[in-house]
Each structure stands twice: as C-alpha cells, then as structure tokens.
Structure 1
Amino acid sequence: MKIRPEDQARIAEAIARAEATTSGEIICVLARRVSDWRDVALAWAAAAALVLPLGLIPLGFDASWLPGLGANWEAAHTAARDLTVGRTLAAYGIVQAAVFLSTLLILQLPPLRRWMVPTPLRRTRVHRAAMEQFLGHGIHVTENRTGVLIYAALSEHVVEVVADKGIHAKVDPELWGELIAELALDLKRNRPADGFVRAVERCGVVLAEHFPPGAMNRDELPNHLIQL
C-alpha cells in the first residue's frame, strides 16, 4: 500500500485545516508492521514439533519408517534391542525437526503470519508501538495536553487512536471507536489517503467542539503523515 505525494499533500492539508479550528494537535502515523512476530512463529513451530509427532506413536512408529534408519533383520539380543530403541528415538527427533522447520517456513507467509498471532497480543503490541510514537513525537508535552495520535498498522490490520489526558475527560470514547472503524474500512478498501483525511476531519470537528483555538494557536507538531 503506497501513499502518493499528492495524497501526502491532501492529508497534510486536512491536518492544517483541522488544527486551524482547535487548540488540539493531530499526528497521523502509518506503520507497515509493528513486529516481525518471529517469537510467535518460533512458539508455534516448537508446539507443533512437540505435539504433532505424538500422533505417530499409536501407529507403531519406529526407525524403519525413515529410509536408512531401519534394519533389514530383527535380532533378539538385548544390545540389538537397545540399538533399535536408539534408532527409533533418532528417527523421532528427525521427524520433530522436520515438523519444526516446515511449520516455521509456512508461517512466513503474510496471511498465515497474521492468523498465528492471538488478537490480544496483536492489539497489545500495536498499542505499545502507538504509545512509543505518542511519546517519541512529544504529543504528551503539548501546551494544553490536547494532542491526538491516529495510528494504523497495515500488516496487523489494527487502527488505534491515542488521545492525551486533556481530551479524555471531555470526549466520548465511542467517537474514537467510530473513527477507528471508518479508517479501518478505508484501509481495507486500499484507500488510505481517503481514510486518513476523513479521520482527521472528524477528529478536527470533535476537538473544535471542546477545545477552540487559543489566542496564538501555535502549530506545535508536524502536519504530514508519518510513514514507518
């Protein structure tokens, strides 16, 4: 998903228009992804390697199932039985390794990578990434604590709005929920610029109602869409 220069300009203009009507500040961030989710993929692969091969045991799994590990003749000697057990354990280890690597490779596919991540974990990491941007851009130190961050994570399919504490007491949280839903729908339709412009305009209306512009109305934060 690409944001063309002309769309960047549209978003910047929308932010400038919105901020002209309020003392609030609006920051828009579009992140390609917030994590590579390597740790989650490793956890799934390890779980698959531990659990899936267990299904072979009731079927009588032994070393002969893998070429080159089984013996052509069976001996009754104790040492021979020990050798058979060792070969079977080695074969089982090979199956586990194959399952682990196969699962890890399969989960590199973007749709499957998104599916493998539990929704609460995905939202938690997006929220953490959004808070890092909120603090990193100094939204929390605006003059009247009326900064708003509109954050979208493309790979994770999550949109979040972070409003400073000066806004929470006056703005109904449901309004942010509606804004999030509309922006998420535009992103799903591959219309990121339209989505951000509408989100900024709606945010501007909300802020103008509760936080009218002051005498100076300084522009404290950048107006362009930040892409990560």
Structure 2
Amino acid sequence: MLTDADRKRIEQAVRQAETRTSGEIYCVVASESSDYREVPLAWAGAAALVAPAILLAGGVHVTAPELMGDGWTAAQMAAAAEQAARGALGGAILLQGALFIAVALFTAIPPIRRFVTPRMLKQDRVRRRARELFMSKNLAATRERTGVLIYISVAEHMAELVADDGISEKVEPVVWEGAMARLVAGFKLKRPVEGFEQAIDQCAEILSEHFPARPGDNPNELPDAVVVLS
C-alpha cells in the first residue's frame, strides 16, 4: 500500500506538523478492519428464506394427484396427499440448501463481500478497530493526554480519528471530518501520500489552536513513522 519513500514522506509530514503543536500524531494504515465473515451467512440465510415466497409469487405451485377418481379409498387419498406434501417440502428444503450454499460462496468473494456489507457495519468496524489500536499502541500515555490516532482502512475507503481525553474535551469530533475526507480522497485517487499530508496538515492546524507548541518544551512522545497493517 505504501512504498518506503511514501512512508518517509508521511513521517516527515508528521514531524513537521508536530513543530506547530504539543499534540502528538500517530498514523496507521490497515488493509481492512474486519473480515465480515458473518455477512455472506446473513445474505445466504435471507436468500434461502425468501426463495419459497419468490417461487409462489412467480406462479410455481405444488401439484397433487387427482384424489376424487373411482376406486380411491380414504386411506389412499390420505397417503397420496401426504406424499405430495412430503415431495413439496423436500423440494423446498433442497432448493433452500442449494441457494444458501451458492449465495454464501458467491458473497464470500472479497470484493463482493465488501460490496454487500452494509455501510453502517463497516463504519462501526472501522471505528472499533481504530479505538482498539489507540489503546493497544498506548497512545494515551502522553504527558498531557494529547495523542491523536489517524487511522485509514483501505478496503472500506474509510478513515477515523481518535483523540485522547485532553483533546476531545476541547475539540468536537465533527471538526476532524474534513481532514479525514481528504485522507480518504487521497487513497481513492491513488495518491495516498498527498492524502496523508493534507490530513496531517489540517489536523496540526486544529491542534495548534488549542495546543500550540511550547518553545523548549515540546518533546516527541510518540513515533512519527506510519504503521502499515496488512
């Protein structure tokens, strides 16, 4: 996703941005935030459930032998009716099973799986993954709780910013949306470094308003290098 030269440019952008603020910026790129393994099963289950209704709506119906002919006893008519019902039920079960397997396999193909995954679910997984990384990378360990995680999940074309308590108390989450939009746009246009540079610059501008750099007292508390998760 990023070459060594790309990483160096992003690292330089972070380093330059942090000269303007006491905030600390940490960048992570992930290929995908979740495998969404439940999505193919959900689509397959839905297809199997609605299949009989679609068949009935399309005019397919169950046929039974003529039960009113001469020589039929009550027992024979009951047996014929039961056989027709069993055949219809067995056919429906086989159809549902075959449809379940076919849809599950088809929607399990990664590009198709991502396409049929609801956007709200992807947003939730990206947000959750970003928060998990914020904690696992110990980004809350800065002196004044001014760490910021810039996270982008490439497969979902979504980005998330997680700010530590010291920043979130002063900056509303909506303020970061413009920076995240620039980051996502850069990846969509196959210009990831430019997207990062613009997002980092905008974040630094916001941070400098509330947390300006203090000359002689601005330690670099978090790594500047971008982390890439395959």
Distance 1:60 1:205, change over 3 A: closer
Counterpart-to-counterpart distance in 2, 1:10 and 1:34: 24
- Bigger CA drift: 154-163 or 6-15? 154-163
Report the secondary structure of 2:47's partner residue.
Answer: helix
Report the secondary structure of 1:150's partner residue.
Answer: strand
1:177 corresponds in structure 2 to 177
1:23 corresponds in structure 2 to 22
Report the secondary structure of 1:112's partner residue.
Answer: helix
Report the secondary structure of 2:29's partner residue.
Answer: strand
For residues 59-70 of structure 1, what are the structure 2 equivalents within 5 Å? 59-62=59-62
For residues 86-165 of structure 1, what are the structure 2 equivalents within 5 Å? 86-165=86-165
Counterpart-to-counterpart distance in 2, 1:111 and 1:211: 42
TM-score (structure 1 length as normaliser): 0.86
1:43 corresponds in structure 2 to 42
The one-letter code of the counterpart of 2:228 is Q
1:68 corresponds in structure 2 to none
2:225 corresponds in structure 1 to 224
| Cα shift at 1:101 | 1.4
- Bigger CA drift: 177-186 or 161-170? 161-170
For residues 194-205 of structure 1, what are the structure 2 equivalents within 5 Å? 194-205=194-205
The one-letter code of the counterpart of 1:226 is V
| Cα shift at 1:106 | 2.1
User: Deviations 1:138-194 (Å, cap 9, x if unpaired)?
Assistant: 112211111111111111221111111211233354431110111111111111121
Counterpart-to-counterpart distance in 2, 1:200 and 1:50: 48
- Bigger CA drift: 40-49 or 165-174? 165-174
| Cα shift at 1:21 | 2.5
Counterpart-to-counterpart distance in 1, 2:174 and 2:79: 73
1:67 corresponds in structure 2 to none
Task: Structure 2: give runs of 5+ residues left out of the alignment.
Answer: none
Report the secondary structure of 1:218's partner residue.
Answer: coil
For residues 80-91 of structure 1, what are the structure 2 equivalents within 5 Å? 80-91=80-91
The one-letter code of the counterpart of 1:217 is N
| Cα shift at 1:111 | 4.1
Report the secondary structure of 2:38's partner residue.
Answer: helix
| Cα shift at 1:81 | 3.2
Counterpart-to-counterpart distance in 1, 2:50 and 2:25: 49
Aligned-residue RMSD, C-alpha? 2.2
Counterpart-to-counterpart distance in 1, 2:49 and 2:112: 20
The one-letter code of the counterpart of 1:171 is V
Distance 1:56 1:9, change over 3 A: same
Task: Structure 1: give runs of 5+ residues left out of the alignment.
Answer: 65-70
Percentage of matched positions with identical amino acids: 41
Counterpart-to-counterpart distance in 2, 1:48 and 1:182: 38
